[in-house]
Amino acid sequence: MAYVGLTKPRVIELLLLTTVPVMFFAAQGVPDLGLVVATVLGGAFSAGSASVFNCVYDRDIDEQMRRTRRRALPRHIISPRAALVFGFALGILSTIILWAWVNPLSAALSVGANAFYVFGYTMLLKRRTAQNIVWGGIAGCFPALIGWTAVTGELAWAPVVLFAVVFFWTPPHTWALALRYREDYKQVDVPMLPVVRPAHDVAVQIVVYSWVMVATSLVLWPVAGTGPVYPVVAGVLGAVFLVQAHQLERRAKGSEDLSVIRPMHLFHSSNLYLSLLFVAVAIDPLLR
């Protein structure tokens, strides 16, 4: 179980949630079950590999943060060397599965996402800039592309739009969590935006990204020619999310008290928003 914890299963669940629905959308129906299984396994191993490398590199700060200090490496349950071997094994197995049973393009995209998360976000951006999660979050957008290419073997504008939705969703989602744990990040000198800027400034940025995210989600309708289900669901979900983002901004005005701001409300809502939006992506072609 300690090794499983290194892979951050909740992150894997979220990434797969943006992979499988896109496969339904790309197939305009139910995709081949064997292809889905291979893509899910390959994607899960790839995401798990990236998370393991992240845990190894960040073990020094994880040991000091309340949210992460009970992970296996800070508790010395697993050695860094053993974790590295595990991470490489997952990455190699992922590439073999995707290359052999899906297609080379999907395998290459998966390797690219893994490399960007480890080298781009974890090693380069996370400890150096307050915009770390904006650009580092690109790695988490790749599953939309991988799900599409797994079915079609090529890229198109529809998965690019969904890639952009996840890109603009990531800052509100992550900054809400970072507001909750800003003292942890401050203690270890990780310049997350809530560490270097007042809560209200962060909330304003969350509102801006939320508006762009909702607008981008609606672009899928004309670009991909969806049926009526998707734009209705996207519109309703987007309206609810925007209300909550603006409520967060109002609570943060003139206050740094987390009990007043309640950022975790938006964090949990963001998970629900993305989940239901991509469920709508999967269901839309089935109802046409």
pLDDT digits (tens, 9 = 90+) for 28-37: 999 999 999 9
Cα separation, 264 vs 106, in Å, equals 34
Tens digit of pLDDT per residue, the chain (288 long)?
Answer: 789 999 999 888 888 899 999 999 999 999 999 999 999 999 999 999 999 999 999 999 999 988 888 899 999 999 999 999 999 999 999 999 999 999 999 999 999 999 999 999 999 999 999 999 999 999 999 999 999 999 999 999 999 999 999 999 999 999 999 999 999 999 999 999 999 999 999 999 999 999 999 999 999 999 999 999 999 999 999 999 999 999 999 999 988 999 999 999 999 999 999 999 999 999 999 997
CB-neighbour burial class of residue 260 (10 A; exposed 0-12, middle 13-18, buried 19+): exposed
**pLDDT given for residue 14 in this prediction:** 85
Q: How many residues does the chain have?
A: 288
3-state helix, strand, coil in the chain (%, to 5): 80, 0, 20
C-beta pairs of 108-116 under 8 Å, 24+ apart in sequence:
109/142, 109/145, 109/146, 109/149, 110/42, 110/43, 110/46, 110/142, 110/146, 111/46, 112/142, 113/46, 113/50, 113/139, 113/140, 113/142, 113/143, 113/146, 114/46, 114/47, 114/49, 114/50, 114/139
C-beta pairs of 192-195 under 8 Å, 24+ apart in sequence:
192/130, 192/132, 192/133, 193/130, 193/131, 193/133, 195/130
- Report helix angle 263-286 to 157-180, nearest 10: 160
The candidate with the shortest Cα–Cα distance to 170, out of 49, 267, 265, is 267
Tell me, yes or no, if the pTM score tops 0.75: yes
